[in-house]
A and B are shown apart, each in its own frame.
Chain A
């Protein structure tokens, strides 16, 4: 293990603003790998039962799936540098089948790993300061944030700083590693919620008050799954230095009182729903009585961590007009996003080619993106919560070159935010819990709507697909949500309409009886045709739906029956 502790620090792209490990962080990771290797050895010697070993391997990201072990690797708040992405490509090639799968939690999964290879994979990750800690298990999971952090013009506070603070604080937290159930925190620093804060166990909005002081609005008890719930606001304002203390208070009430006898009622959302205002009062009481000093977030610590995320050395530029190329323009209209820095833009890379598996990237593609990031984005890459990638800081006069590079690698599908930019969970193709396939449904829908002009005409529309009630595909908050269930041995698909994961968060409404695997794509077609028939000029699907309600869709779908 000393080999790892003493290995040289990785050579990062000089300007990439990812958190840089120091000696202590590296030593910690080496110790953690040693601990896991020992746990594997004890399991093999029979000193740990499979029942005891399971949560330990889960807390190191290792799942047993239908066909193989799946290793889920943490990409802290979706931030990667080019060196790290190249290492993921290497892992994909050496220990998987040449692919990786980016998830809605801004992580990456390798679906075909072997148990005996896992310690080596963890060591390869540690070489670039990465790990698989707490990507599963009943603990605080990888914190997620805005994929455009540090780049988007509407940002008030850089959420990466506090996401990193949360990451450190939650890493092997002694008190919160054996919670009733998994625990997911999302944080945004923009008034436009792009992290689905209201459907997380804790959703945090970082903001400033009129005096310019930093603070946090804290929501808790949101979630999807079997019982979709929108979170409750606990506090409008938690001052910066009290942030972690308040988080501790929320987690303590949950750890003490969350249900443990029924896995379907164990998430914090059930406790918050059942206790209502009393939950908020209990958190406040816990917080009022706990000692403050040990939990105070020292401004010096915040400043030290913020230094990791200082703006890269932008050139002084002006905004320019894009080149006149229709194909480029079509791509740019979906993939290019304004930047806070004049002359720059953020580029979203679609991992949703027509007929492809949403979120999949080949090792070759990862290397192409890493190289483009190095040349054009200060070596930075983000993973988005809708399973795409982002180059956050691209000069506008280099957008054309970036597009050409992406196009050559099959990464320039101009469908960001359109109907074929589908979120789909792994479903029956990989997942042991699945009741239906979800990937092939996504593939068939993207093929049906392959015509780009038609997609552009339809405008923004989010289709989310889950292969079982656990809702990893976030079907409840899709404008169109699809849930695959098993009905007497047959896969059938329930459809919900009107969900949303943004500021106006809403859980979709069930449209009626489920559709068969063969009929589901036609049903989506009918829904879209109904939207087109009723829409006002340029109206998005979700707005039409909110205006006219469920009935016209119901009638169109079930008229024949």
Chain B
């Protein structure tokens, strides 16, 4: 499915690998269980690694491995389920994670800006999605009243203008 970054569709070099499939050379997103199980063996691997973190697992669970991870993928099982917002913010704030935070699942454009402000980098959008709609959604509100965990959004309490790249 298409990947959105900074309001544009971008190439996605990452492949998602099932629990028992052989690891490719390409950047690879692993299920959490496999990452944990094979952590020692994976330490020798050169290619970039990522993990799919389920909504009910706190980022704390992968804290020791974050140094090895170039990507953490979060999921909204339904667009109403906002746990990923807290996971993203925790990754950035508690763990100082600077790699890619990708959000998949059922995301709607109206959530894009908030996801970015919680520290997300990219969003997996539905096949055929119009990137213009997503790009507009991240620009529609240019003012915020809170601190943001996004690297490009140096906000503080209580109110600042947002700058969209």
A255 within 8 A of B: yes
List the A side residues contacting B142 at CB < 8 Å.
27, 31
A28 within 8 A of B: yes
With A39-B110, A168-B159, A175-B85 in contact, do A28 and B133 touch (Cβ < 8 Å)? no
Binds B, one of A47-55, A194-202, A404-412, A496-504: A47-55
B118 within 8 A of A: yes
Q: Are A178 and B81 in contact (CB under 8 A)?
A: yes
Binds A, one of B46-54, B97-105, B145-153: B145-153
With A39-B110, A169-B157, A297-B157 in contact, do A177 and B145 touch (Cβ < 8 Å)? no
A173 within 8 A of B: yes
List the B side residues contacting A52 at CB < 8 Å.
79, 108
Q: Are B86 and A169 in contact (CB under 8 A)?
A: no
With A24-B143, A256-B58 in contact, do A178 and B79 touch (Cβ < 8 Å)? yes
Q: Are B147 and A256 in contact (CB under 8 A)?
A: no
Q: Are B157 and A178 in contact (CB under 8 A)?
A: no
Which positions 285-328 of chain A face chain B at CB distance < 8 Å? 289-291, 294-298, 301
Q: Are A24 and B161 in contact (CB under 8 A)?
A: yes
A415 within 8 A of B: no
B2 within 8 A of A: no
A529 within 8 A of B: no
List the B side residues contacting A528 at CB < 8 Å.
none
With A165-B158, A174-B148 in contact, do A35 and B85 touch (Cβ < 8 Å)? no
Q: Are B133 and A47 in contact (CB under 8 A)?
A: yes
List the A side residues contacting B58 at CB < 8 Å.
256
Q: Which of A35, A138, A171 contacts B140 (CB 8 A)?
A: A35
With A34-B140, A55-B80 in contact, do A173 and B146 touch (Cβ < 8 Å)? yes
Q: Are A255 and B157 in contact (CB under 8 A)?
A: no
List the B side residues contacting A174 at CB < 8 Å.
85, 113-115, 117-118, 144, 146, 148
| CA A124 to CA B24, docked complex, whole Å | 59
| CA A297 to CA B145, docked complex, whole Å | 12
List the B side residues contacting A371 at CB < 8 Å.
none
| CA A252 to CA B161, docked complex, whole Å | 24
Q: Are B158 and A255 in contact (CB under 8 A)?
A: no
A226 within 8 A of B: no
With A178-B85, A255-B85, A255-B86 in contact, do A169 and B80 touch (Cβ < 8 Å)? no
A179 within 8 A of B: yes
With A173-B146, A255-B86 in contact, do A168 and B117 touch (Cβ < 8 Å)? no
| CA A174 to CA B113, docked complex, whole Å | 8
List the B side residues contacting A169 at CB < 8 Å.
145-146, 157-158
List the A side residues contacting B148 at CB < 8 Å.
174
A32 within 8 A of B: yes
List the A side residues contacting B144 at CB < 8 Å.
172, 174
On chain B, the number of residues with a Cβ less than 8 Å from chain A's Cβ atoms is: 37
Q: Are B140 and A27 in contact (CB under 8 A)?
A: no
Among B81, B87, B115, max chain A CB count under 10 A is at B81
Which positions 228-260 of chain A face chain B at CB distance < 8 Å? 244, 252, 255-256, 260
Closest Cβ of chain B to A478, distance in Å, is 33
List the A side residues contacting B136 at CB < 8 Å.
38
List the B side residues contacting A297 at CB < 8 Å.
157
List the A side residues contacting B5 at CB < 8 Å.
none
A56 within 8 A of B: yes
Closest Cβ of chain B to A61, distance in Å, is 16
Closest Cβ of chain A to B62, distance in Å, is 15
List the B side residues contacting A55 at CB < 8 Å.
80
| CA A294 to CA B156, docked complex, whole Å | 6
| CA A177 to CA B133, docked complex, whole Å | 20
| CA A252 to CA B83, docked complex, whole Å | 9
B93 within 8 A of A: yes
Q: Are A178 and B111 in contact (CB under 8 A)?
A: yes
| CA A176 to CA B83, docked complex, whole Å | 9
Q: Which of A171, A256, A291, A296 contacts B83 (CB 8 A)?
A: A256
With A169-B157, A174-B117, A174-B148 in contact, do A38 and B81 touch (Cβ < 8 Å)? no
Closest Cβ of chain B to A195, distance in Å, is 22
Closest Cβ of chain A to B129, distance in Å, is 10
Closest Cβ of chain A to B28, distance in Å, is 27
List the A side residues contacting B111 at CB < 8 Å.
178
A421-453 interface bits toward B, Cβ cutoff 8 Å, 1 = contact, 0 = none: 000000000000000000000000000000000
A141-174 interface bits toward B, Cβ cutoff 8 Å, 1 = contact, 0 = none: 0000000000000000000000001001101111
Q: Are A171 and B157 in contact (CB under 8 A)?
A: no
List the B side residues contacting A168 at CB < 8 Å.
145, 158-159
List the B side residues contacting A25 at CB < 8 Å.
159
B131 within 8 A of A: no
Residue of B with least CB distance to A305: B158
List the A side residues contacting B108 at CB < 8 Å.
48, 52
Residue of A with least CB distance to B129: A47
B80-92 interface bits toward A, Cβ cutoff 8 Å, 1 = contact, 0 = none: 1111011101100
Closest Cβ of chain A to B113, distance in Å, is 7
B109-140 interface bits toward A, Cβ cutoff 8 Å, 1 = contact, 0 = none: 01101110110000000000000010010001
Residue of B with least CB distance to A304: B158
| CA A75 to CA B144, docked complex, whole Å | 20
| CA A48 to CA B145, docked complex, whole Å | 27
Q: Are A301 and B110 in contact (CB under 8 A)?
A: no
List the B side residues contacting A27 at CB < 8 Å.
142-143
Closest Cβ of chain A to B63, distance in Å, is 11
B94 within 8 A of A: yes
B43 within 8 A of A: no
| CA A173 to CA B86, docked complex, whole Å | 12
B141 within 8 A of A: yes
Q: Are A179 and B143 in contact (CB under 8 A)?
A: no
Q: Are B93 and A255 in contact (CB under 8 A)?
A: no
List the A side residues contacting B87 at CB < 8 Å.
256
Closest Cβ of chain A to B151, distance in Å, is 13
Closest Cβ of chain B to A310, distance in Å, is 19
Which positions 28-69 of chain B face chain A at CB distance < 8 Å? 58
8 contacts between A and B (CB under 8 A): A24-B161, A35-B140, A168-B145, A169-B145, A175-B89, A175-B114, A179-B82, A295-B157
Across the A-B interface, the 7 shortest Cβ-Cβ residue pairs: A178-B82, A174-B114, A174-B117, A294-B147, A28-B143, A168-B145, A35-B140
> What 11 new A-B contacts, CB under 8 Å, besides A172-B145, A256-B83?
A24-B159, A39-B110, A55-B80, A172-B114, A174-B118, A175-B82, A177-B85, A178-B79, A252-B86, A260-B80, A301-B157
* B residues neighboring A (CB under 8 Å): 58, 79-83, 85-87, 89-90, 93-94, 108, 110-111, 113-115, 117-118, 133, 136, 140-148, 156-159, 161
